[in-house]
């Protein structure tokens, strides 16, 4: 499991890839917060302390930013993902190489 630190709050988050063709959740397609084409949100970002049932959220972790799906909205029977952009610093000691 890898980790990053949110630059504004200093909180450390752990993340992992979603299983491919395995049991559990599948990746979702959603637009990035700044708009544009849908992208694959194929990582789990673990949020909260585990005591309040917050679990994990779909996300995309890049070098300096993480795009995180934080909510969903329904309008006229259609579902829309609500995404946020988090400024981050990757924790190099958690990388697999």
pLDDT on residue 49: 65
Q: Which domain holds residue 39?
A: 2-94
Total domains present in the chain: 1
CB 28, CB 7: distance < 8 Å: no
Residue % of the chain over a pLDDT of 70:
84
pTM over 0.85: no
**59 exposure class (CB count in 10 Å sphere: 0-12, 13-18, 19+):** buried
Please give the mean pLDDT across all residues of the chain. 84
């Amino acid at each position: 499991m890898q980790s990053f630190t949110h630059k504004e709050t200093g909180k450390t988050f752990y993340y992992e890839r979603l299983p491919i063709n395995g049991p559990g959740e599948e990746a979702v397609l959603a637009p990035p917060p700044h708009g544009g084409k849908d992208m694959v949100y194929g990582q789990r970002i673990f949020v909260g302390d585990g005591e309040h049932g917050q679990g994990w959220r779909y996300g995309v972790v890049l070098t300096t930013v993480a795009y995180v799906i934080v909510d969903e909205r329904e309008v006229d029977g259609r579902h829309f993902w609500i995404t946020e952009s988090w400024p981050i610093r990757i924790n190099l000691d958690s990388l697999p190489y």
